[in-house]
Amino acid sequence: MSKSIHDIPEADRPREKLLRKGAAALSDQELLAVLIGKGTPGMDVMTLAAKLARVIDEKGLAVKAEDLSQFAGVGTAKATLILAAIEFARRRIKPEGAKIVTPADLLPHIRHYADRKQEHFLCASINGANEILNIRVVSIGLIDRSPVHPREVFADTISDRASAIIVAHNHPSGELGPSPSDIAITAQLKAAGEIVGIELLDHIIFNRSGYFSFLEAGRL
């Protein structure tokens, strides 16, 4: 459960932490809390930020104002502020359109998920020019597993008109070796991709310090 802003020592609250350590030291939840500014009488700013982060994870760059304003305390002003911040950063960092030479080139765009306490299963849609179209969170699981089905992975990818995908997930436990379920879902996604004409380029498992690539390990 997220800590209330009042439970966090003043020096470690998002704004103060940003000033002391820089924006890169903040989690996604903390960055959103800075943008939101305050919560509502019924919902602390950190709780609200956590809910917004989950929606943004799921929608990726396709997130819209109505996705955010469904939460009490997020009106048009806050929703547009968040969307403007995302677009401002996108134009400079440009994950959309970033060139993928090797599947591991995806890592800088997903590394911030390494700190999540639950397993997040991600899917990056790739076009014929090996450029990123979008990165989405397909599912969020428990500490050591994230149940995912091929239909959930390929649904939005087909809408993107992608020619390939790279899937990835964090291992909160810290271990990088693939589990039996990781091996099984990789085989399922590869087979499903062959049917729909969307190639599975790699399945990457990552944590804060490293990664495992099915492709690099010769297991794809």
CATH fold of 98-217: Cytidine Deaminase; domain 2 (3.40.140)
> pTM of whole model > 0.75?
no
Residues of the chain with CATH 3.40.140.10: 98-217
Q: Is the pLDDT of residue 40 over 80?
A: yes
Mean pLDDT estimate for the chain = 89
pLDDT confidence band for 144 (50 / 70 / 90): low
Rounded CA separation 16/29 (Å):
15
pLDDT tens, residue by residue, 110-120: 988 988 888 99
Is pLDDT above 50 for 1? no
Confidence of residue 103 (pLDDT cuts 50, 70, 90): confident
